[in-house]
Structures are given as C-alpha cells and as structure tokens.
A and B are shown apart, each in its own frame.
Chain A
Amino acid sequence: MKYLFIFLLVIQVFGKEYPDGDLIIRKVDQNMSSKNRIFESSMTIHGKRNSRTMLSRTMSEGNKKSFTEYLSPASEKGTKMLKLQGQLWIYSPSTDRIIQISGNMLRQSVMGSDLSYEDMMDDRKLMDIYTVKVTGDETLGDRTAYIVELTAKVENVAYFKQRMWIDRERFVPVKEELYAKSGQLLKRVDFKDVQKIQGRWFPMTIVYKDVLKDGNGTEFNMTSVKFDQQIADYIFTKGSLKQ
C-alpha cells in the first residue's frame, strides 16, 4: 500500500504531460490575433505620488500596422502614433510635426509609462525568437494556467527570458514576467478581466509594472474592442497623421 502511494505520488509529480509549448503559443496567437481590430482604451500611469490617465483609440492590422490617436487629456489630445512595418512615427499637434522614432529613441518610455516604444514595436512572433518550454501549471485565482518559459534563441531581443502563465482552457495569457540576461526580473504584466468578444477570449485590462522602480505600474483598460472591422487603407499611411 505504501509503495502504491509513492508510485501514485511520483506519477502525480513527474508524470504530468503538458502540451507542446509551441502549440500553446500558437493557440494563444489564434485567440488573440485577428485580421484587424479597433479598440478604445485608457492608459493610467500610476506614479509614486500621482496618477494620470490618457484615452486613446487604436486601429491595428495584424501586428505590423497600427494607428493610435490620443483623445485626452487636453495636453495629449490629437497626438497620433503610426507603426508601420517596424517603423514608428509620432505626430504632435502642438508642433504640427511628424517625428520618426528610431534607434535609441525607441528605448524611451511611452508618455512616461512603464512601456518603451520598443515594447510596442517588437512584432516578431514569439516562436521565431524564443525557445518555448512548458515547465508546469499553477492556479491563479480561479483559473489554472500552464507556465511557459521562453528563452531567447536569437541575439537581438530585449528580454532574454520570459515566463508566461497561459489559461489552460481559454488560451489567453494571465500573467507574464520579463527577465534580464542575469535572471533579474524586470517587468511583470498582469492580464485581467478576460471577456469573450466575438468568439475570442480577450483580456480587457493589462497592467505593466517595472518591478525595479516604485509606483503601481501602467494600466491599460479596453473600453471597447471590435475585431475584423473595415479599416480604410489610408489609415496606415503617414498622411493620416496630420488629418
């Protein structure tokens, strides 16, 4: 009886079989990606002393093209961002100028948030730049998630290692941790308020937190999300920035 118990325990601990990591990531991609999407969101940057919120409207096609217009506060209203095939332009109404953000500038924070332009810009598929391995599962709140570890297989990645918690049933990320080469945790991303929209599970709130600095991170709240809409081609051109 004792040996049977030990055997069952060993089976329980070591005998768990997880699906292939690539398959999980592909399922997440299928769930989260769409031909295009239009969403309105608020970005709240929680500083050490105060918080500020910006409202924006984004139209994106795949993960290569996106156009964002800031709607409020008044100081940011009319600022537009266009991401196109690995390039990023920003239009500022106060100067009436279009500036291309490139090189080291991409490493700067987006409007003082915990996100860099580069974080927004990396549109390579995770499987192309990381080796994916499922290392276990964990219950987070009322959801059970696979723990997926991604280790860089190419040199030019910002985060050498990532750890993602993927909902076992919905195949949406629940939590993500981004690590430095040294193994130091740098950023944590929490995906909350997952809703089914047009047949897809989608997190409506994403909280980015630079764990090395004080503050409560940057919170994205999607107020509306629409998939597979009609978006005119001219939206993803530089001409649309000044309109």
Chain B
Amino acid sequence: MLAFKLAFRNLLGAGLRTWLNVTVLSIAFVVIVFYSGMLDGWNRQALTDTKNWEVGFGQLWHPNYDPFDPFCLQDAHAPITGKTKALAELGQITPILITQATIYPQGRMQNIFLKGIDPNQKIIQLPTSELNNKTDEVPAIIGKRMAEEAKIKQGDRLLVRWRDKNGTFDTREVKIVSVFNCNVQSVDNKQIWIPLKTLQQITGLENEATLFIAGSAFKNQTLTPWQFKELKYLLREIDEIIQTKKVGAGVIYGLLLSIALLAIFDTQVLSVFRRQKEIGTYIALGMTRAQVVAIFTIEGSAHSLLAILLGTLWGSPLLWHLQNSGIPMPKSVDSMGVSISENIFPVYSMGLILSTVLLVIISATIVSYFPTRKITKLRPTDALKGKIQ
C-alpha cells in the first residue's frame, strides 16, 4: 500500500511529464479499443447481413456447383423431387436456379447471372415479393450496385440473352420492378433475380434448381444429390478477411503502444538516474532492493492506470457517439468484394475492453520494470551521497 501511495505521490509530483506520458498512453488505449470495436462491429454486421441476405442457415448445393466457376452452371442443376420438394413446400428451404446470361445496357455487352427465386420465399431478405408484380415482361429485381454499373433504374426494360438447356440462344425483355439496397455484394453484383418458375420455363429446366437456401427450421439431413454447406463454411471468407484485418491492426496497436511505452521507459530511466539519493535513503531506512524496485515499477505502471482513467474520461463519450452514429465508409470500400455497410457501428464488448486494459497495464509494467533493475546494483552509500553510478 505504501508503494502505491508513494508511486502516485511521485507521479503527481512530476507534473507535466507524467501527464504527457499518461495522455499518449490514453490515446493508444482508446485507439486500440476503437479499432478493435470497429473490426468486431464490421464482422458482426457482415456475418448478419450475409446470413440474412444470402446464405440463410446454410445451403444445399448441387455436387457440380462451384460459386467461383461460372462454367459449372451448365451441369449444376437437378430436379426438385421427394424430400427437397416437401421441404421447399414447407418453407424450410427455398430453391435457387442460376444460369449465365448477357445484357446489353446502352449497347455494351455485359455478362451476368440470371437467378430464379420463389417470389413468396421468406428465408432471405431479398424483396422477392416484388416479383409477384404483374407485367407484360418478365419482372426482375436487381441490387443498387448492379443498377449503378449497368446504369439502369426501376421501371427500365432490359433485353436479356441466355442459352436454354440445349444451348439454343433465347432472349426476353425483363422489367426492373425494384432496385434493392443491400450490403452483400454476392446477391447484387452482376446479377438479375427473376421468378423461379419463369427461369425454369425459359431455360427448359422445369422444376430444377442449382441450390437451396435453408431456413432456421431446417435440420441437416441426407438429401441426395444435394450437399449441405453449413453456415460456418459459407461465412468462412468473412472470418478470414476479418482475421487478416486483425493481424494488420495488431501492427498499428504495436506501433501506438511502442510510442507510449517508450516515453514511460525514458521516464523510468531518468527517475532511476536522477533519484539515486532517494533510492539510497529507502535502502538506508531498511527497505530491501526488491522493495525499492517494486516502488519504482509500480510508479511506472501507475502511468497505465492513470491513462486508462483518462482514456475512459475522454474516450467514453467519443466511442459512445461513434457506436450510435456509426463510422461512414468511403464508397470505394464497397467495391472490395466484402459485405460492408455505408456506416459501420463499432461493438465494444467487455472482453475487448478488459483485454485492452490488461494489455496496457502489463506492457506498461514490463517497460517500467526493466530500467529499475539497475537499482539492484546500486551501492547505498554512494547513492546516499548522490554519486552517479
């Protein structure tokens, strides 16, 4: 207790020097909490959006289906029969049929995916009910990215060309009945959604599907030839991206902490050098060298406690504000191929705050301890005389 009292008295006595160190360390503390919270918020938002808009509670893929190989689509479809048909009728899974197609907006040839979905499905958040609109043309919905890229808007008509199951070219005019806004690019970029029945009919793939999206009521079971892909597998890319980002963030944390800790280290070296008389007095009064080292180490690490207090004082309102208003993301980030919303809302978990507090305290204690080891080598008599050793 004496050590703590002495440490804080000395620290406060040092005045501006202490507050400079504490301020720098508090900035590092707040930045670490903020950046980690932002990554966690992004992660949570990306996972939730991808689940809600694209993958549901898992997917059943045709064995030939590979989302990264558009050429596989010709052979990646099978009839919806037996159990899958029953599950689809119960609304536990919803079938999706995918085919390659070409559009010609403003005379530019653009390859897209034509996707068929049940307009009455409730598993993902795509506004598929809009596909129930009665139009002379095929009703279609597209995402805002697709709309921007192809320069098309709601109400526009678009000629779509595709090949049927025999490879014969066919065309149809589709009407864009809705442009939806969603953060998940993989349901938006280069794709047009039309009613499943229409796509099945125009491609000659009656009652066939490429994959199924599972809802919350679906229980994994054997559904030959379909292969179940669980949520963890479907979301692995987002996890991998976030992990990579966290590694990158770790470097930034390291640099920030290093700057703050270097200042504490310098202060400690200076303290041990300038306060040799004080050290000699402590030893002369009966303190062991270890006790003196402890006093100086606590004094150094007390910077971190003050920094956490100061950081909490100025950081809390700031972080709270960012948590509520979100952090606006630049438009260019949208083209990175990752689910990212216009605003990221950071998430500060208790685990994150505690681990950051521990990181700051432990690292500050370590850098405070190293310079004080010199105390163990001091001769008390010389120290009392103030001889520089």
Q: Which residues of A contact B (CB under 8 A)?
A: 48, 103-105, 107, 118, 152, 155-160, 180-182, 184, 186, 210, 212-215
Contact = CB atoms under 8 A, between A and B. Distances in A.
B74 A213 contact: no
A161 B144 CA distance: 36
A104 B107 contact: no
Interface of chain B: mostly helix, strand, loop or mixed:
mixed
Given A212-B104, A213-B109, A104 B74 contact: yes
Interface centre among A107, A181, A215 (most CB of B within 10 A): A181
B336 to A, nearest CB: 27
B15 interface: no
A176 B159 CA distance: 22
B4 interface: no
A160 B169 contact: yes
Interface in B49-104: 70-71, 74, 100, 102, 104
B11 to A, nearest CB: 68
A181 B74 contact: no
Contacts of A214: 106-108
B71 A158 contact: no
Interface stretch (B160-168, B190-198, B324-332): B160-168
B172 interface: yes
A226 B213 CA distance: 59
A59 B161 CA distance: 34
A103 B74 contact: yes
B168 A213 contact: no
Contacts of A155: 166, 168
Nearest to A159: B169
Contacts of A181: 164, 168-171
Nearest to A160: B168
A157 B159 CA distance: 21
A213 B163 contact: no
18 contacts: A48-B107, A103-B71, A103-B74, A104-B70, A155-B166, A157-B167, A158-B169, A159-B169, A160-B169, A180-B170, A180-B171, A184-B171, A186-B161, A210-B109, A212-B107, A213-B104, A213-B108, A215-B107
A155 B169 CA distance: 11
B161 A158 contact: no
Interface in B141-189: 159, 161, 163-164, 166-172
Nearest to B106: A214
Contact of A182 (B70, B71, B109, B170): B170
B176 to A, nearest CB: 18
B161 A212 contact: yes
A107 B170 CA distance: 14
A180 B169 contact: yes
Contacts of B167: 107, 118, 156-158
A200 B130 CA distance: 60
Nearest to A181: B170
A152 B168 contact: yes
A160 B202 CA distance: 14
